[in-house]
Structure 1
Amino acid sequence: MVPLDAEALAAGPSRERWMGIFFEDQKVGYAVSRSAPVAGGGTLHEGRSHFRLAAFGTIQDVVTAQAALTDPDGTLRRFDFFMVSDEVRISARGEVRGDEIVMEVDTGGGSRRFTFPVSAPPQVELSLEEVVRRHELAIGTRFEVPYFNPATMAEGVMEYEVTDVEVLENGEEAWWVRTRFGDIETRQLVTSAGEVIRQESPMGLSMVRMTPEQARDMPTHDEAVDIIARSAVPLTGRIPRPRATRVLELAIQGVDPDRVIDDPPIQVRRDGTVRVEMPLLAELARPPVVPAPDVQVPAEWLESSPTIQADHPDIIQKAREVTAGATDRVDAAVKLEEWVFQYVEKAPTFGIPSGLEVLRTARGDCNEHTALYVSLARSLGIPTRIAAGVVYSDRVGDRGAFYYHAWPEVWIGDGAAPTAEGSTAWPWLPVDPTFGQAPADATHVKLAEGDLDRQVEILAVMGRLGFVAVDSR
């Protein structure tokens, strides 16, 4: 653990706070935030961060900036968010209006407006510290704060619990506070003035209060942390031919097995193990490209979102072009997979994926391939969802390991049921446009389903999850 520097603490409560960002014990960047009163008694909160990471040897700098305006009573009114990394950039502006958030998102050269219902005016990351200051901290204190994350569009409740007290080098007491949002837990060390001086997050990420000079001391390119290699999920045993594996059974280690999705018949979790079996194309039902009008399809498998621009004219035109002549949904799914695999350059990317932006840049990693694929498929009326989890690669570590991955799944559950006795009905077709696979191989282990607001759940197990190979063929 990186120690707190006495010089950083000596500055006392400050409206400008500098933090060093660390991955395990290695510095990867910095963050700075400041607060200032505004006319009318409210507060303007501003922050920015800069960190440098590597993935498979490719080094990228990521810059974020955000702001939030709160009323005198601490109620959030407006916020904005900006992120840029290499060719990926996204900006968002939002306003709380009664029981909803109205948000405008700019990405891929286009601007879209979205509304999100909220049960109470939420806070964003920058304004949370002001809320904490309004509570008297003591061991056992608990409270909840409505919360919204503009980057992932996730809305819910941030839970706080004071768990311990620590005396700092300057003699001041500080409180260890555990926070929980969904399945994600962090620990914060908070001073009596309500300022966070240390934060510890999943996957070994942490922030530590520093002087401005210390915080701005960025790592060189030679020192950049390879986030993929350092966050790999270890495997005991071997998978001889991962890309050709159709059946895989693994023992789950390090986390509650319930953290691994049970989704028969493709992924079955039982007695601390998970078994993944992928279908052959010849085994699949062949429903029409678009479900019949009387078929009930959940809206989330067809809708657009800030990252899945299924209703954009450019997406619609390209999808029709790629799938021209498709005879059924499986045929269309394979055509889309082959085109995205060939079209998008394989390049590690840090940022928020956007299907429209990938259509224009033709570059990205699994998130970008998946965002483009799902945008294209949904634009045609093909029910598609995003699967996120881990996949095996022998490029990670000395003996291979699992690493974070995302891929699309196409619904074919409205097709004809199998007629052969003992045959399996496959309601979903997992494809992998990053690897060029339809169906995907069985080393794809799913941990979450859905857009960014659900994919962040994976952080709760990364750094703790491990597997033991039981069977592969």
Structure 2
Amino acid sequence: MLLLLVRRDFFVAHLESGEQAALVLQARYQQYYGVHLNGRRIGYVMEDFRPVDKGGFHIRQQAALKLKVINTVQPVNMELNAELDSAMRLQSFQFTFASLFYSTKAEGKTEGNTVHFSLQTGQTVIKDSITLPDKPLLPLNQRAYLLAKMPKEGDKLKVPFFDPFSLSQRESVITYKGRDKELIGGRVYNLHEFTETYSGMNTSFWLDEEGKIIKEKSPMGFVFEAEPKFKAMDVIDSGDELLAAVAVKYSGPLLPENSRSAAYRLQFPKEAEVELNGGRQQFADGKLLISQETFPPSTAVGEQDAACAEEKYLRPSRYVQANDAKILAQAKEIVGKELDQAKQVKLLTDWVYKNLEKRPVIGLPDAVTTLASRIGDCNEHAALFAALSRSLGIPTAIAAGVTLQKNAFYYHAWNEVCLDGQWVSLDTTVKQLPADLYHIRFTRADVEGQIAIGGLLGKLEIEILPLQK
């Protein structure tokens, strides 16, 4: 989730190709941005754009960050190289990403509106394609086309785009907010303010009269400011603990020990894409009720109940490779001759908990890579467990939401399995089966779908309600 918040949005399709090409400066330019968190520079972003002799353009974007996550300073480096035709349409791209415990390389080409790509993780190669509503374009930090297309305050523009890091399609809405005076580097600028909204998350950016981005602010408080190269690359330190920025304070009393149910009052934006009902959760009128499940000692032999035997909870996905030979072999080794699915789940839970070193990993977790590295946080635990469990024919979901740690709720991922037609939660990071009542699920989705809860960042309020006697 951290990477989805700090990454830049690269591929976008929202204008006629000729419109953007006509409004982009034809000469080569290079621009640097300092990345700030709570007033301290923690990294930089560079964009280099140039025409090429054969016609068309080449774009190179680099980002280097230092992030402090759970008292560990993690360097993050990203680079994009892309070839564009004369109308600014994407022809091909190469994208690399590296953090302390994770690295990937993606490359792809376009055919019409479809982007075909491959992703190399060091342990596996994932091949896929995405079809967009229009031919993919590249949004540069020179965005004069927005000033031309959106002259009046309140004007809106829908933006479907392709993100080379998550390799997924999103749709956002850009809104022109009008003129705004911003203090940047000790100087007051009279700029054009815009907001970009996707999956409930709001990013603000400011353009000068030439349409160049001067400042950008992400939902988590990262601020990008146009700066000279020597200044932007003068990275001071990693800044404050990053997870503190997404902690959700709560009100109300803690649950009594041995509680079998919990009640919460939740407040969040109406546009947030959440899935609060289902399984042990019931949500209505802002009030969430959670009932503690009882994990079955055994399961009946036979077909799964149709209520939770949806194909998506059984099939492999891009990052949950339940059909990979190494995943299936490991799952069979863990469960041995045990055929009872409830007992298989217990064996898998215990194995994942014991065999993964618990370290924060910045990246998109895939099960095959996690199986090889044996390192990960809650996301890697949840993805690996889901792959192992699905490989044995057990319907398994990845739950994403929040859980209580000390004095606040933090974003977290865990699993749910369907046994005897009932969903049961479990958390392999802390070895809870079922998960405790402080686990509040906001969505069920594999890794590529979890950006939906980003709309809750900085906007979620939680009140623990006293239990009714």
Partner of 1:236: 251
Q: Tell me if 1:150 matches 2:148.
A: no
- The amino acid of 2:435's aligned partner reads A
Aligned pair in 2 of structure 1 residues 453, 295: CA closer, same or farther (>3 Å)? closer
Pick aligned residue for 1:104 from 91, 115, 118: 118
The 2-side partners of 1:139 and 1:350 are apart by 40
The 2-side partners of 1:54 and 1:289 are apart by 49
Q: Does the 8 A contact of 1:184 with 1:460 survive in 2?
A: yes
Q: Does the 8 A contact of 2:141 with 2:213 survive in 1?
A: no
The 1-side partners of 2:338 and 2:144 are apart by 55
The 2-side partners of 1:274 and 1:333 are apart by 27
Secondary structure of 1:80's aligned partner? strand
The 2-side partners of 1:290 and 1:341 are apart by 28
Q: Does the 8 A contact of 2:65 with 2:77 survive in 1?
A: yes
Q: Deviations over 1:194-213 (max 9, x none)?
A: 22111122122221111112
Aligned pair in 2 of structure 1 residues 459, 257: CA closer, same or farther (>3 Å)? closer
Q: Does the 8 A contact of 2:274 with 2:453 survive in 1?
A: no
Partner of 1:304: 316
Partner of 1:5: none
Q: Tell me if 1:442 matches 2:437.
A: yes
Secondary structure of 1:188's aligned partner? strand
RMSD, aligned CA: 2.9
Partner of 2:393: 381
Pick aligned residue for 1:214 from 231, 243, 268: 231
Secondary structure of 2:220's aligned partner? helix
Partner of 1:286: 299
The 2-side partners of 1:411 and 1:122 are apart by 40
Partner of 2:152: 139
Aligned length: 438
Q: Tell me if 1:455 matches 2:450.
A: yes
Pick aligned residue for 1:43 from 29, 36, 57: 57
- The amino acid of 1:92's aligned partner reads A
Q: Deviations over 1:79-109 (max 9, x none)?
A: 2222111121112112222242211011142
Query: 1:403, CA displacement in angstroms?
Result: 0.3
Partner of 1:424: none
Q: Tell me if 1:403 matches 2:403.
A: no
Aligned pair in 2 of structure 1 residues 111, 453: CA closer, same or farther (>3 Å)? closer
Aligned pair in 2 of structure 1 residues 263, 104: CA closer, same or farther (>3 Å)? same
Partner of 2:240: 225
Q: Does the 8 A contact of 1:340 with 1:433 survive in 2?
A: yes
The 2-side partners of 1:315 and 1:106 are apart by 17
Q: Does the 8 A contact of 1:139 with 1:165 survive in 2?
A: no
Q: Does the 8 A contact of 2:200 with 2:273 survive in 1?
A: no
- The amino acid of 1:360's aligned partner reads A
Greater alpha carbon shift after TM alignment, 226-235 vs 113-122 = 113-122
The 2-side partners of 1:98 and 1:230 are apart by 41
Q: Tell me if 1:332 matches 2:327.
A: no
Q: Tell me if 1:186 matches 2:219.
A: no
Greater alpha carbon shift after TM alignment, 315-324 vs 144-153 = 144-153
Partner of 2:21: none
Q: Does the 8 A contact of 2:83 with 2:93 survive in 1?
A: yes
Q: Tell me if 1:64 matches 2:78.
A: yes
The 1-side partners of 2:105 and 2:256 are apart by 42
Aligned pair in 2 of structure 1 residues 287, 16: CA closer, same or farther (>3 Å)? farther
Aligned pair in 2 of structure 1 residues 296, 281: CA closer, same or farther (>3 Å)? closer
Query: 1:173, CA displacement in angstroms?
Result: 5.4
Q: Does the 8 A contact of 2:295 with 2:434 survive in 1?
A: yes
Aligned pair in 2 of structure 1 residues 258, 132: CA closer, same or farther (>3 Å)? closer
The 1-side partners of 2:252 and 2:127 are apart by 49
- The amino acid of 1:139's aligned partner reads K
Aligned pair in 2 of structure 1 residues 148, 402: CA closer, same or farther (>3 Å)? same
Partner of 1:468: 463
Q: Deviations over 1:145-164 (max 9, x none)?
A: 33011222331333222111
The 2-side partners of 1:278 and 1:253 are apart by 22
Aligned pair in 2 of structure 1 residues 88, 258: CA closer, same or farther (>3 Å)? closer
The 1-side partners of 2:301 and 2:142 are apart by 53
Aligned pair in 2 of structure 1 residues 39, 452: CA closer, same or farther (>3 Å)? farther
Pick aligned residue for 1:18 from 28, 32, 45: 32
Query: 1:47, CA displacement in angstroms?
Result: 0.9
The 1-side partners of 2:463 and 2:107 are apart by 45
Query: 1:232, CA displacement in angstroms?
Result: 0.4
Structure 1 regions of 5+ residues with no counterpart? 1-12, 395-399, 417-426
Partner of 1:322: 334
The 2-side partners of 1:245 and 1:257 are apart by 32
The 1-side partners of 2:147 and 2:91 are apart by 18
Query: 1:352, CA displacement in angstroms?
Result: 1.6
Q: Does the 8 A contact of 2:327 with 2:391 survive in 1?
A: yes
Q: Tell me if 1:252 matches 2:252.
A: no
Partner of 1:205: 222
Q: Does the 8 A contact of 1:55 with 1:229 survive in 2?
A: no
Structure 2 regions of 5+ residues with no counterpart? 1-26
Query: 1:363, CA displacement in angstroms?
Result: 0.9
Q: Does the 8 A contact of 1:122 with 1:148 survive in 2?
A: yes
Greater alpha carbon shift after TM alignment, 34-43 vs 359-368 = 34-43
TM-score by length of 2: 0.85
- The amino acid of 1:351's aligned partner reads G
Aligned pair in 2 of structure 1 residues 385, 80: CA closer, same or farther (>3 Å)? farther
Partner of 1:422: none
Quote the sequence identity (%): 24
- The amino acid of 2:376's aligned partner reads G
Aligned pair in 2 of structure 1 residues 334, 123: CA closer, same or farther (>3 Å)? farther
Greater alpha carbon shift after TM alignment, 296-305 vs 204-213 = 296-305
Q: Does the 8 A contact of 2:144 with 2:212 survive in 1?
A: no
Q: Deviations over 1:367-405 (max 9, x none)?
A: 1111111121222232222111111011xxxxx110010
Partner of 2:106: 92
- The amino acid of 2:152's aligned partner reads I
